[in-house]
Structure 1
C-alpha cells in the first residue's frame, strides 16, 4: 500500500493550492498525467458554478481532460482556470488540434464571498501559482486551497469550517483517491450518524430562511483503472449518492454539488461493484477528513 493516503497516492496525479488566509478564499488544482485523464461529472442542485462542465457530458466528443480546478470566489473564481491553461500550454500539454495543443481544464466553484473578503477572489495568477506548485506529495488538507472559506451547517446562519479533505482507499489491488471541498448548507455526519459539523438540529428549528446563500460541495475522485467516459459518469453519480450518506440534508435547493471522476487508464478495468463501493466510501471519508482537518489545523 502507498504511504501517501491522499489523492496523490494515485500515480500520475498532482495537487497544488493557492491560499489566502486573510481573505479566506483559495483554489486547488488537480493536474492529470500529461496525456490527460478520461473524465465525466455529475452536477446536482439548482446552481452549480462550472467552466467547461458541458464537455464532460457523455454525448460530447472530448474524453480526456488535462487538469481540474476547484476554487472559491463564486463565478469570479472560474477565471483562475486561465492560469492553469497557461502553465499546461508552456509544458506542451493539451488536446492536439491542427494548429496548437489546447489544454482542457474544467472548473467548479464554491460560494465563499460572505466568509472573508468578497473583493478578493482567485484569478489567473492564483490558478497559475496552484498549477506551478502542484506535486505528488500528500495533499495539504484543512483550511487550504478551495476549502479555505468553506463552511458547513448553515441552515441556521453562520456555519462552521468545512475545509478540504483527501483520502486514498485501496482494496484487492484496486485504488481510488478522493478530494472534497465541503461547503454544504447541511450538517456533516460522522461514521455513526452523529453530527460532526453543524448545529445538528435540522432545518425548521428556527426561523431562518437561507435566501440567496449559496452552498456547494465539490468532489473529485481519481483512479488508475481504465474507465470509459460513460463509466466515469456512473461513478460520478455514485459519488453524489455518497454525499447523501455524509451530509444531512443534502442536495437541497440551496446546494449546487459537483462530482468529477477521472481515470488515468493505465491499469486494466477493475470490478465495477468494488469500484462503486470504494468511490462511495472514499467520498464519505474525504468529506469527514475535510471537517476534521479544518478543526485541527
Structure 2
C-alpha cells in the first residue's frame, strides 16, 4: 500500500474556486466519462442536491460531477455552473433534445466566519471546473469548500477553530481509492490512535480545549438549540468496479472515518454527507473498498485540520501549536 495523490485516481479531476476575503468556496470532483455514484447522509441537517437518484432503485446509472460547497443552501447554486460547463462539452445523460449533466452536491454552513452575503454561485462553480483542466495537485487547507470551514462550535463561533479541506489517497496493486472532505463539524477532531483532541472548541484565554463531549454531558439539562451552523461533507473516489448498491455501501462504511476522527459526529446540527464516485476500471471486493474508504476518510479529516490556516481571529491548529510551544 502506498500513498498517492487524490488526483492520481483514474478519470477523476478536481477543481477549486473560492473568495478568500469572504471565506467561502467550492470544490468540484469531475468524471466526464461518468462514474457510478453513491451517497450516505448521516447528519440531521443536510443540504444536498440530486441524492435521491443515487438510490439503486432509480434509473440514472452514472453521475458526472459532485460539488462540495460552502454558503449553506445558497451554495447549491454552484452546481448550475458545473452543469453549464459539462453541457458546453456535450457531457450528460442523453434525453434526445439535450444531454443533461448529472451533478450531485452537498453544502456546509460557513456564513458566520466571512461575508454572509457572498456565497458560492454559478460563476464560482464554472471557475472551479475550469481550474480542474490544469490542476494536478492535491490542494488542502483554506481552499475550495474548506475556505470557510471551522470546527468545535458547540458554544458558537467565539470558541471555534479554523479547519479546511483535506484529501488523502492510497493505491494497493491496481486499486486506487481516495477521500476529499471539507471539515466543518460541531464537534472536535480527534487523533483516532490516541484520543487526543487535535482541534476543536477552544478556550481562547487559556488555550485549552473545552472538549465538546464534556460540554454536552455537563450541560445535558440545557434544552436550548445548539449552534447549528455546521456540517462535514466529503467524497470517496475509486477506480474500483462497483454497482450503485455497492457504491452506496462504500459511502455508508466511509462514515466510520467520520466517527473515528470527529467527536461527537452526526448530530442534529450537522448535515454530514459522503458521496462515492467509482470509475469502474478495477475488480475489487466491496468490503475491502469500504474498509479502505473509512481509512482514507479518517486521514483526510486529520489533514484538513493540519493544513488549515488562521482566518482573522479563528485560530488554526498549526498556529495554536506555535503559541503553546513558545
Q: Which residue among 202, 212, 231 is the counterpart of 1:202?
A: 212
Q: Contact 1:155–1:210 at 8 Å: present in 2 too?
A: no
Once residues 189 and 214 of structure 2 are traced to their aligned partners in structure 1, the CA distance between those partners, rounded to angstroms, is 17
Q: Report which stretch shifted further, 192-201 or 206-215.
A: 206-215
Q: Which residue among 93, 97, 100 is the counterpart of 1:95?
A: 93
Query: 2:254 aligned with 1:239, yes or no?
Result: yes
Q: Contact 2:186–2:270 at 8 Å: present in 1 too?
A: yes
Per the alignment, residue 163 of structure 1 pairs with 164
Q: Secondary structure at the match of 2:22?
A: coil
Q: CA deviation at 1:82?
A: 0.5
Once residues 106 and 277 of structure 2 are traced to their aligned partners in structure 1, the CA distance between those partners, rounded to angstroms, is 15
Q: Which residue among 58, 77, 101 is the counterpart of 2:56?
A: 58
Query: 2:140 aligned with 1:141, yes or no?
Result: yes
Once residues 76 and 179 of structure 1 are traced to their aligned partners in structure 2, the CA distance between those partners, rounded to angstroms, is 21
Q: Contact 2:27–2:128 at 8 Å: present in 1 too?
A: yes
Q: CA deviation at 1:212?
A: 5.0
1:204 to 1:168, Cα distance in 2 relative to 1, 3 A? closer
Taking structure 1 as the reference length, the TM-score comes to 0.94
Query: 2:84 aligned with 1:82, yes or no?
Result: no
Query: 2:265 aligned with 1:250, yes or no?
Result: yes
Per the alignment, residue 313 of structure 2 pairs with none
**Structural mapping, 1:21-32, within 5 Å:** 21-32=20-31
Q: CA deviation at 1:266?
A: 1.8
Q: CA deviation at 1:277?
A: 1.7
Once residues 167 and 214 of structure 2 are traced to their aligned partners in structure 1, the CA distance between those partners, rounded to angstroms, is 32
Q: Which residue among 229, 238, 263 is the counterpart of 2:278?
A: 263
Query: 2:303 aligned with 1:289, yes or no?
Result: yes
Taking structure 2 as the reference length, the TM-score comes to 0.86
Alignment size in residue pairs: 294
Query: 2:6 aligned with 1:7, yes or no?
Result: yes
Where structure 2 has 5 or more consecutive residues not aligned to the other structure, the ranges are 202-208, 309-315, 320-326
Once residues 11 and 2 of structure 1 are traced to their aligned partners in structure 2, the CA distance between those partners, rounded to angstroms, is 16
Q: Secondary structure at the match of 1:265?
A: strand
Q: Secondary structure at the match of 1:133?
A: helix
Considering only aligned residues, what root-mean-square deviation do their CA atoms show, in Å?
1.8
Once residues 73 and 256 of structure 1 are traced to their aligned partners in structure 2, the CA distance between those partners, rounded to angstroms, is 13
Per the alignment, residue 278 of structure 1 pairs with 292
